[in-house]
């Protein structure tokens, strides 16, 4: 993935279609101009295709950078020059945003995920995860509000012109949380306070955190409370274990707005307004149930019930300030049943480019993880805790140490 090329576009607040329009203006050759669209820009940023020399020159002109700075040529070490710079930037970022030893690591694979509670051995009971709702909108600072309005204008224009666009679904922001223990056994407990937000606010804030200026201005080094203005994403990650003792892993779709083409656990669903009860309070188990249905075709109560869901941990991906709950669910279906359902059609099929079926054992899953990349940081942590929950930490860590 060419993160440097994507960052240059996002620093200007451009959508994919807007970047294509700007590149279009620099191409006097009408035959070349006819090839330019947002999907082409997206494929360059994902690393699926490399721009031809013609377009490489135009991209350098567009962004005012040389080819190495845009990640369009290789350096002598064989690594993309922009990739090396990004690795350095991200290493510095992790040093600034959390102690390196605090961030989750799956064997040799480092991540930007910080586990705030849970170890895989214990689970949250449904009664110990309590959500609260306050109907108070956050007023964004002028620079962030300007980003949001620009995104809205661009998406409205793209929609009116019949081009691909992101729709502004209703979301929640996480205002605060309290981690605690309850009962004589000190069971895991979590209280979450939410307020109303939307997808364009998420794009203008959380997805702007690759911008060093935005990050240094708004993000502190502490994660014991959600960062103000930058908590507009709360996700549910679940690993599905089938009756045939197999698990489903996924790879996200190409055209998603957040983390395209990353490998992940079976289901990743963002909390939305449709998951609220009549009083507006979010229901995390409803979100998980909806995700299992829309992404995998599992139907409640026929295939599972919300009581089958085991939430094991709570954490945050510090790169984009995305909070999430991680867990596992065992279902009576076989893996080939789920593949057949997906083939016949599920609502959000486009969210996953591909699904993989593997044996549910530490060795098989660890080998798959290290041979595929990139991985969603929360997905890696979820997979690890699910393995620990089933097989114990000693056995899991032994497999990871051998990688």
Judge if 41 and 177 occupy the same domain: no
Residues whose CB is less than 8 angstroms from the CB of residue 94 and which lie 6 or more positions away in sequence, other chains included: 100, 103, 112, 318
- Do 107 and 229 share a domain, yes or no? yes
Distances (CA, A) of 176 to 134, 195, 226: 11, 10, 6
Q: Are residues 16 and 113 located together in one domain of the fold?
A: no
**128 in the same domain as 59:** no
- 122 shares its domain with 206: yes
Q: Is residue 92 part of a domain?
A: no
pLDDT score for 256: 67
Q: Is the pLDDT of residue 47 over 90?
A: no
Segment (H or E) for 389? helix 377-391
What sign for the dihedral angle of Cα 371, 359, 352, 259?
A: negative
Instruction: Provide the domain limits for residue 28.
Output: 3-85
**Mean pLDDT across the chain:** 87
pLDDT at 364: 93
Averaged over 277-293, what is the pLDDT?
Answer: 95
Residue 293 has pLDDT above 90, yes or no: yes
Please check whether residue 320 is in contact with residue 206, taking contact to mean a CB–CB distance below 8 angstroms: yes
Two structure tokens written together for 68:
């190495």
The answer on 219 and 361 residing in a single domain is yes
Q: Of 21, 52, 85, which marks where a domain is finished?
A: 85
pLDDT in tens, 226-265: 999 999 999 999 999 999 999 999 998 766 666 778 899 9
Please give the pLDDT value at position 74: 53
Q: Looking at residue 211, which CATH number applies to its domain?
A: 3.90.79.10
Residue with tokens 């689970």, as numbered in its chain: 123
Q: What are the start-end ranges of the E strands in 31-166?
A: 103-106, 109-117, 129-133
pLDDT band at 367 (very low <50, low <70, confident <90, very high): very high
Per-residue pLDDT at 366 exceeds 70: yes
Domain assignment of residue 120, yes or no: yes
pTM: 0.77
Total domains, the chain: 2
Q: Which of 16-30, 100-114, 310-324 has the lowest mean pLDDT?
A: 16-30
Does 248 lie in the same domain as 109? yes
pLDDT at 221: 72
pLDDT tens readout for residues 104-145: 999 989 899 999 999 999 999 999 999 999 999 999 999 999
Q: Is residue 283 part of a domain?
A: yes
């Amino acid at each position: 993935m060419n993160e440097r090329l994507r960052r240059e576009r996002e620093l200007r607040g451009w959508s994919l279609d807007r970047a294509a329009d700007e590149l279009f203006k620099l191409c006097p050759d009408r035959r070349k101009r006819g090839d330019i669209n947002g999907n082409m820009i997206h494929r360059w940023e994902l690393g699926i295709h490399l721009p031809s020399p013609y377009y490489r020159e135009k991209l350098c002109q567009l962004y005012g950078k040389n080819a190495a700075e845009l990640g369009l040529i290789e350096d002598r070490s064989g690594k993309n020059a922009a990739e090396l710079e990004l690795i350095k930037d991200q290493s510095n970022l992790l040093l600034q945003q959390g102690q390196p030893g605090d961030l989750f690591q799956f064997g040799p694979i480092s991540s930007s995920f910080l586990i705030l509670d849970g170890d895989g051995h214990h689970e949250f009971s449904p009664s110990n995860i309590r959500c609260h709702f306050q109907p108070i909108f956050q007023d964004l600072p002028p620079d962030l509000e300007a980003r949001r309005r620009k995104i809205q204008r661009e998406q409205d224009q793209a929609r009116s012109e019949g081009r691909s666009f992101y729709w502004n679904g209703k979301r929640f922001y996480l205002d605060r949380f309290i981690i605690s223990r309850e009962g004589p056994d000190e069971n895991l407990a979590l209280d979450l306070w939410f307020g109303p937000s939307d997808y364009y606010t998420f794009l203008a804030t959380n997805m702007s955190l690759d911008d060093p200026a935005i990050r240094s201005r708004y993000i502190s080094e502490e994660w014991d409370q959600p960062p103000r203005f930058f908590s507009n994403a709360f996700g549910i990650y679940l690993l599905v274990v089938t009756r045939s003792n197999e698990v489903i892993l996924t790879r996200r779709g190409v055209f998603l707005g957040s983390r395209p083409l990353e490998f992940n656990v079976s289901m990743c669903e963002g909390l939305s307004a449709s998951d609220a009860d009549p009083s507006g309070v979010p229901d995390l188990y409803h979100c998980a149930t909806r995700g299992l249905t829309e992404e995998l075709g599992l139907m409640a109560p026929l295939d599972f019930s919300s009581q089958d869901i085991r939430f094991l941990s709570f954490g945050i991906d510090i790169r984009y300030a995305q909070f999430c709950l991680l867990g596992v669910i065992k279902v009576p279906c076989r893996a080939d049943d789920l593949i057949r359902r997906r083939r016949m059609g599920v609502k959000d099929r486009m969210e996953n480019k591909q699904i993989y079926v593997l044996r549910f054992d530490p060795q098989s899953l660890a080998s798959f993880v290290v041979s595929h990349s990139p991985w969603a940081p929360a997905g890696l942590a979820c997979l690890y805790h699910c393995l620990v929950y089933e097989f114990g930490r000693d056995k899991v860590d032994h497999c990871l140490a051998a990688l």
